[in-house]
Amino acid sequence: MYLSTEQGRKTVNEGKGAIGIEFGSTRIKTVLIDESYAPIASGSHEWVNKYENGIWTYSDTDIWNGLQDSFAKMVDEVKFKYGITLKKVKAIGFSAMMHGYMVFDKNDKQLVPFRTWRNTITQQASKELTGLFNFHIPQRWSIAHLYQAILNKEEHVKDIAYLTTLAGYVHWKLTGRKAVGIGEASGIFPLENDAPIYNTKMAALFENKIAPNKLPWKLPDILPEIMTAGQNAGYLTEEGAKLLDTSGNLSAGIPLCPPEGDAETGMTATNSVSPKTGNVSAGTSVFAMIVLDKNLEGVYPEIDTVTTPTGKPVAMVHCNTCTTDINAWVSIFSELAKLLNADVDKSNLYNLLFNKALEGDADCGNLMAFNFYSGEHIIGLTEGRPLFVHSPESEFNLANFMRANLYSSLCVLKMGLDILFKKENVKIDRVFGHGGFFKNKNVAQKIMAAAIDTPVTVLDTAGEGGAWGIALLAAYMTDGNGTTLEKFLSDKIFSGKIEKTVLPKREDVIGFEKFLDRYKKCLPIEKSAIEYFE
């Protein structure tokens, strides 16, 4: 329940709110929550990754300018709504797109540009480390990037004094503490049976593997400290306060929770932190997080093993591209509307086109789409080429066209989840959906339910996203009072929340399976496009 204006003013004035800030792939969002854990102000900054010298990256200037702009817009909204300036809160939390590679020397100088999750340049490292550890090491994990840099004999490797992620980097600069949450840590290097310790046996294997390189550092010495939800991960320093709030109004000394990845904040924001719960985050990328009651029996290159913010094992299927190509097509239709002098709001255009997809054939009328803007490790692509293909006999109409693009955005996810559900016999009652894909809840839920043959639930808070999730983790640090995160979320946050669940329709499930079979057969077309089209 949202506080009244007067209550909100009191919350801000007394510093009883909590702030969550998340660096997403296309947006940096800041959320201020009140004592009932509802958002009362927010700000956002749009940004875009750059492809420079064969690397997907964001510059340091982009990081800090974006953070400051997002925070300032939230502060401006507080001033507009309540007539006062935000100076203090009870807690702050940071999260960011998972993993990747940020390394610094002994003088805290960044050695190479930030290498994001989107890069698929570590295939050799991923394969060798997976074999060495008998544990799947995805390409985007920090250790894969580090080992690939060693294999490539990159000059900077010998100078590394600290390796972290984007969330860990921002947290370090604002608090002086080199720490990350356990979920984020689990994508830097494998953990010791999901405990807050890096796996000692695997670390020893790694050290032995790289010994011939005679590097001047040991792996444990360059990795961040691991913390779990509820722990205090440091305080906002004077320098950090000025770096975050360029107006100089924000007070130093505010406690920060452990920084986490967007996967962990997605779990938190959907109350999917207990075994046999799960969520799907669908936007620029798409990933499913299934909380396990036991570890997987097999090792699969399609499945990542990470943790919840408290350290419970999670099976993750991560795909690099989801809605990017859909967004591109909607932009084309928007251009057409302008040519026709039609005043169509883009959000309305999305709704029109998504709803039209439901009129299409269950198998999309023999149309085929590939949405790859970058590589996709699950199917062995190092690059991407968006494609649309149909035969002269296909049922080529707008409904099938849109449905094919929606299906295509989920095919790789489906391939990964099939391993969990069919090979590992993982059981789950339903998944919670969130992210930009679910802005049109009705259509997105029906398409997702058809793809994964599982009921899909969207909460009334689904649009709040990961910034709200990390704000909840920040509030849990101060308000948890010894209770578990699971109980805190169930009792204090999600009790009484409105939700809508869509069950999979049998004909849609069968239709998606037919589309997926065709999709797999057509993958050589995509690979040929990568080879021949630059």
Secondary structure (DSSP) of 198-262: E-HHHHHHHHHHHGGG--S--HHHHSPEEE-TTS---B--HHHHHHH-TTS-SPS--BBPPPEEH
**Distance from C-alpha of 379 to C-alpha of 525, rounded to nearest angstrom:** 13
* pLDDT attached to residue 497: 80
* pLDDT attached to residue 2: 47
Give the containing element (helix H, strand E) for 12.
helix 5-13
Residue 99: which region, alpha, beta or left (left: phi > 0; alpha: psi -120 to 50)? left
Q: Which residues of the chain have pLDDT under 50?
A: 1-2
Residue type, 102: M
* pLDDT attached to residue 4: 60
Write down the residue that tokens 């749009």 correspond to: 46
* pLDDT attached to residue 118: 84
Report the Cα–Cα distance between both ends of the chain, in Å, rounded: 52
User: pLDDT per residue over 108-149, tens digit each?
Assistant: 999 999 999 888 899 999 999 999 999 999 999 999 999 999
* pLDDT attached to residue 16: 96
Write down the residue that tokens 């936007």 correspond to: 283
Cα dihedral sign, 151-156-157-162: negative
- Cα separations (Å) of 316 from 141, 258, 279, 305, 530? 13, 21, 10, 6, 27
* pLDDT attached to residue 281: 87
User: pLDDT per residue over 346-368, tens digit each?
Assistant: 999 999 999 999 999 999 999 99
- What is the DSSP secondary structure assignment for residue 115, as one 8-state letter? B
Residue type, 91: A
